């Protein structure tokens, strides 16, 4: 690779990385942490007395689903970043 190609590749990577919606990625990460903490707290409160009723099970399941959805959103955002960088690298 020549110096011009290397400079072009570095600048293109900087544009792709700079163009990523970091605010959305950070907000999704915060949501994952918040939902994980809520799920942990809810579970610890439910098992504290050694008895989990149906309402507690339903609430734990809802919070687990919210956490899984946020994790999937985060995963998809990271995959999109990977493919943007890969597409850029293959173009050169």
How confident is residue 1, by pLDDT bands cut at 50, 70 and 90?
low
pTM comes to 0.70
Using one digit for the tens of pLDDT, what is the confidence trace for 16-56? 666 666 778 888 899 999 999 999 999 999 888 888 889 99
Range of the domain at 12: 3-91
Placement of tokens 């290397």 in the chain: 6
More confident residue, 15 or 73: 73
DSSP string, 66-80: HHHHHHHHHHHHHHH
Closest CA to 7 of 87, 81, 92: 92
Structurally, the chain folds into a number of domains equal to 1
Sign of dihedral through CA atoms 51, 57, 59, 63?
Answer: positive
């Amino acid at each position: 690779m020549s110096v011009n190609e290397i400079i072009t590749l570095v600048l293109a990577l900087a544009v792709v990385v700079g163009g990523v919606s970091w605010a959305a990625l950070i907000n999704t990460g915060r949501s994952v942490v918040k939902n994980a903490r809520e799920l942990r707290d809810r579970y610890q409160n439910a098992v504290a007395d050694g008895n989990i009723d149906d309402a507690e099970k339903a609430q734990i399941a809802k919070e687990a689903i919210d956490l899984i959805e946020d994790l999937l959103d985060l995963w998809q955002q990271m995959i999109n970043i990977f493919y943007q960088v890969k597409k850029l690298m293959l173009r050169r």
